[in-house]
Chain A
């Protein structure tokens, strides 16, 4: 697991419940270090930091799963908004499509965040473990596939088709959008996952937007990121008003994940990331096993 190099008294790893020897300062520095690594790794492999932050806070640092999810969802707003700045100004994100799909993701996020109050901690551990497993699998799965174009009158009427300037190709890429209704359905599911588990939900949306809706992968990730800020804001507001967002936990997580993601974005140009992907999948797999164990205890 990623650990902070600079903390004076690291949290004990032995048992997830033992945190007696840790002082508030030690906790803050460790959480900052772990969140930084989560943001860095996540941005290098193209997923948000939430998927690592929640297991790390619960399994390594003894934070309750609801509080960990609440801290994570706040950090998701920061990373997605930070990333969206460059996507929007480079015009890669399809803002019209994003705003339509936000109807579904935000509704989903509200359902998920509302539901989270009624799901017991064990249940959250189990659902989270399943999503971790799915994420690990989706990262190992070979990318690509063929798109089957079907006319979509809804996309025509709302003018959702887009274009952006692809720097690596050196030309403008235009595309048509298909299956907007399917996109709305998947957006709702991604929103529920986001609100319930404190993650961005891009791992559900991006494959469908790419393979079923016909959107080039760069525009998919950019548009997904653009939506995630609003989606996470909806669930964060619910958690905030419910009192689950603890300033002491949320502060180092938000700062750490955001700074880590920024470092990752800067490194991304010159790195070959197949090794990082394997390390990341391994971290996801170990976290999934531990969370299953926690759920079945």
Chain B
């Protein structure tokens, strides 16, 4: 049914679909599990309407350091597990771009190596820009 594709292009497409599928599913599991943990464990979300104001207000932010996120996730702190899932979700398209750089390099398609590298550079810049802004 499908036309016979070029081998390397088909390999890239397979790799890209797999990254997207695994990334999205894994992050969904982490986000759901983190939410459950935050509700059932002490020191999590709380049960009172007053807790809601805290959670959606300015105090709802969390320390954006690798130490807090990793440490928290290992202690099964609900919010840190959710943040891990959110980061996985953000990283999924970034990983997709990185994989396409490799496959274009293998095809010796110099123009597209440059284009996709520039996209990856912009994505990495976004992390720095967020800290600055």
Contacts and interface: CB of A to CB of B under 8 A. Distances in A.
Interface of A: 19-25, 27-28, 62-64, 67, 74, 77-78, 81-82, 84-85, 88-89, 91, 95-96, 99-100, 102-103, 106-107, 109-110, 113-114, 117, 157-158, 163, 165, 172, 229-230, 232-252, 254-255, 258
Contact of A238 (B35, B91, B126): B126
B33 to A, nearest CB: 10
A242 B28 contact: no
A99 to B, nearest CB: 6
B133 to A, nearest CB: 5
Given A91-B13, A233-B123, A25 B130 contact: no
Interface of B: 1-3, 5, 12-14, 16-17, 20-21, 23-24, 27-28, 31-32, 34-35, 38-39, 45-49, 51-53, 55-56, 60-62, 64, 79, 82-83, 85-87, 89-94, 96-97, 100, 111-112, 115-116, 118-119, 122-123, 125-127, 129-131, 133
B130 A247 contact: no
Contacts of A102: 97, 119
Given A230-B119, A237-B127, A245-B86, A254 B112 contact: no
27 contacts: A19-B56, A24-B46, A25-B47, A27-B56, A64-B56, A67-B56, A74-B86, A77-B89, A77-B93, A81-B93, A89-B14, A91-B5, A103-B119, A110-B125, A114-B129, A157-B111, A232-B93, A233-B93, A237-B126, A237-B127, A243-B61, A247-B82, A250-B86, A251-B32, A251-B85, A252-B35, A258-B28
Contacts of A245: 86
A245 B127 CA distance: 13
A236 to B, nearest CB: 5
B27 A89 contact: no
B49 to A, nearest CB: 5
A163 B56 CA distance: 47
Given A24-B51, A241-B130, A247-B82, A74 B89 contact: yes
Given A95-B100, A99-B116, A103-B119, A254 B51 contact: no
Contacts of A233: 90-94, 123, 126
A28 B46 CA distance: 12
A91 B82 CA distance: 33
A76 B97 CA distance: 17
Task: Tell me what chain A mostly uses at the interface: helix, strand, loop, or mixed.
Answer: helix
A114 B111 CA distance: 29
Nearest to B32: A255
Given A89-B14, A241-B131, 19 more contacts: A28-B35, A62-B56, A67-B56, A74-B86, A77-B93, A81-B23, A88-B13, A91-B13, A95-B16, A99-B100, A106-B123, A110-B125, A165-B2, A229-B92, A229-B96, A238-B130, A250-B82, A252-B35, A254-B28
Contact of B20 (A25, A63, A85): A85
Contacts of B87: 240
Nearest to A246: B60
Given A88-B20, A114-B133, A247 B83 contact: yes
Contacts of A251: 31-32, 34-35, 82, 85-86
Given A23-B49, A85-B21, A246-B60, A96 B83 contact: no
A165 B62 contact: no
B28 A23 contact: no
A112 to B, nearest CB: 11
Contacts of A109: 126
Among B17, B32, B119, B130, max chain A CB count under 10 A is at: B130
B16 to A, nearest CB: 5
Given A99-B112, A238-B129, A246 B89 contact: no
A165 B3 contact: yes
Contact of B60 (A100, A248, A252): A248
Listed from nearest, the 6 A-B pairs whose CB atoms lie closest are A241-B130, A238-B130, A247-B82, A229-B93, A237-B126, A243-B61
